[in-house]
Copies of this chain bind each other. A is one copy, B any other.
Amino acid sequence: MGEASKDAGLLAGVTIIDLSRVLAGPFCTMTLAHLGARVIKVEIPGTGDDSRAFGPFANGKSLYFSAINCSKESIALNLKSPDDRVIFEKLLEKADVLVENYRPGTMEKLGYGWDTLHQRYPHLIYGAASGFGDTGPISKRAAYDMVVQGMGGIMSMTGYPGQPPARVGISIGDITAGIYLSNGLCAALYKRAVSGVASKIDIAMLDCQVAILEDAVTAYDKTGEIPGPKGTRHPSIAPFQAFNAKDGMVIIAAGNDHLFSLMAGALKRPDLTTDPRFASNELRHENVDALQSELEKTLATGPVQTWLDALNAAGVPCAPINDVPHMMKEPQVAARNMIVSVNDPVAGPIKVAGNPIKVVGAAEPTTFSPPPELDADRAKILADFIGGGQ
């Protein structure tokens, strides 16, 4: 397919003006770009998106920035300069969506608050991501990923019992906010298409952390049991965790009696199926320490791959704990086009994660346009939005 054929995307024809920096906002607009929208980054002259300064670098280009900003265009504008404001307002006139992730109040100070924009550009949808959202007692406080991971509860449930809590190893606070904002903006585009009405979506990173806690709020509220960290174990199913093999760990998810019996067969441990301690999931969960010890007696005698082959042949859900290079070598990941090669004019050939929202029958681009240099698309953007160079 070569480069993204945007005409095929679900959001073909949609234009996003993107004031956002670093992660939650740019992750949102990357998702929208993958869906076929035209995304124009409006960046601060001179420095641009703060993440352009985040290492590691390749030929001076930030790989962090590159990972999140493929398939976007860039123009540098100073929103405090009258001339640049004229250009920015021309962009807003023709755009469908404005995205920003400033602290609440910043856009109002620039004269671009929602009330003003909605009156002046009634077609314009507005998406904001912030630490705590537009409302509430600490709305205007700054937050970073670590802050909302800590406040939102997920860290208290991640790690090993009796040890300090662990941070989720990626910026899950920003990333879930970015996906929820993208989701809200797609719903707002639908609403505008059927009703003509444009909306502002207000996403708080902290809200998103609360939203993803599965059953924790409901279960704690009724039972009084505080969900804590469980290492790799599932709270109520056994075996459903990682076990030590000879050269690493193997995950076995044998969540019912049938799978448990298949597992025992695959591991040549038929005794496990007649062991009264393991006769039901309830008993296996109750005796999970003994179960782990029995399983590891066997698993420790062979390498991870041997056990995966045997378990997969028997139809038992299982997995290695892949590091990033091993994940990148999984044939399924390649077959799904989830590692995309991009030819960056500065950094050279780079790899980025692909688009997880697959549209059946639509051509998948095999590459993305490279992460833009600051202001790289100025001439084209001015021509498209103003009708001449400037």
Bound CA span A176–B154, Å: 14
CB proximity to B under 8 Å, residues A174-188: 175-176, 179-180, 182-184, 186-188
Question: 5 closest A-B pairs (Cβ-Cβ)?
Answer: A157-B169, A136-B335, A186-B186, A193-B193, A150-B319
CA distance A20 to B229 in the complex (A): 28
Give Cα A218–Cα B353 distance, bound, in whole angstroms: 8
Residues of chain B within 8 A (CB-CB) of A338 are: 206-207, 210-211
Q: Which residues of B contact A186 (CB under 8 A)?
A: 183, 186-187, 189-190
Given contacts A249-B164, A355-B211, contact A350 B151 (CB under 8 A): no
Assembled-state Cα–Cα distance A250/B136 (Å): 22
- A contact residues, total (Cβ < 8 Å): 147
Q: Which chain A residues numbered 1 to 56 have a C-beta less than 8 Å away from chain B?
A: 10-14, 23, 31, 35, 54-56
A67 CB–B CB distance under 8 Å: yes
Q: A335 and B135: CB pair below 8 A?
A: yes
Residue A68 at the chain B interface, CB threshold 8 Å: yes
Binds B, one of A86-94, A290-298, A359-367: A359-367
B147 touches A356 (CB 8 A): no
**Would you call A352 an interface residue if the criterion is a C-beta within 8 Å of the partner chain's C-beta atoms?**
yes
Copies of this chain, count: 2
Instruction: List 26 interface pairs A-B (beta carbons < 8 Å), by A numbering.
Output: A31-B183, A35-B184, A56-B225, A64-B214, A136-B331, A136-B332, A137-B331, A139-B332, A151-B320, A156-B169, A157-B170, A158-B158, A159-B169, A160-B164, A165-B249, A170-B213, A179-B179, A182-B183, A186-B186, A186-B189, A190-B193, A199-B359, A200-B360, A207-B333, A211-B354, A226-B323
User: Residue A350 contacts which of B31, B221, B324 (CB distance < 8 angstroms)?
Assistant: B221
Residue A376, interface by CB 8 Å: no
A164 to B168 CA separation, bound complex (whole angstroms):
14
Task: Write the chain B residue with the least CB distance to A338.
Answer: B210
With A153-B327, A179-B183 known as contacts, the answer to whether A321 contacts B356 (CB < 8 A) is no
B170 adjacent to A218 (CB under 8 Å): no
On chain B, the residues within 8 Å of A322 by CB distance are: 150-153, 156
Q: Tell me if A390 counts as interface (CB < 8 A to partner B).
A: no
User: Closest CB of chain B to A200's CB: distance in Å?
Assistant: 4
Decide: A199 and B362 in contact? CB cutoff 8 A. Answer: yes
Q: Which residues of B are found within 8 Å of A217, using beta-carbon distances?
A: 67, 324, 328, 339, 351-353
Which residue in B136, B138, B156, B332 is a CB contact (below 8 Å) of A206? B332
A146 x B253 contact (CB < 8 A): yes
Cα A13 to Cα B176 in complex, Å, equals 27
Complex CA gap A234/B202 in Å reads 27
Task: State which of B64, B134, B163, B230 has its C-beta within 8 Å of the C-beta of A219.
Answer: B64
**Residue of A14, A169, A176, A219 with highest tally of chain B CB at under 10 A:** A169
A217 to B136, CA, bound (A): 37
User: Is the CB of A245 closer than 8 A to any CB of chain B?
Assistant: no
Interface 9-mer from A270-278, A310-318, A378-386: A310-318
Alpha-carbon separation in the docked complex, A216 to B319 (Å): 20
At the interface, yes or no: A172 with Cβ under 8 Å from chain B?
Answer: yes
User: A242–B66 contact, CB under 8 A?
Assistant: no
Out of B11, B171, B317, B353, name the residue touching A144 (CB < 8 Å). Answer: B317
Residues on B with C-beta less than 8 A from A144 are 240, 253, 255, 317
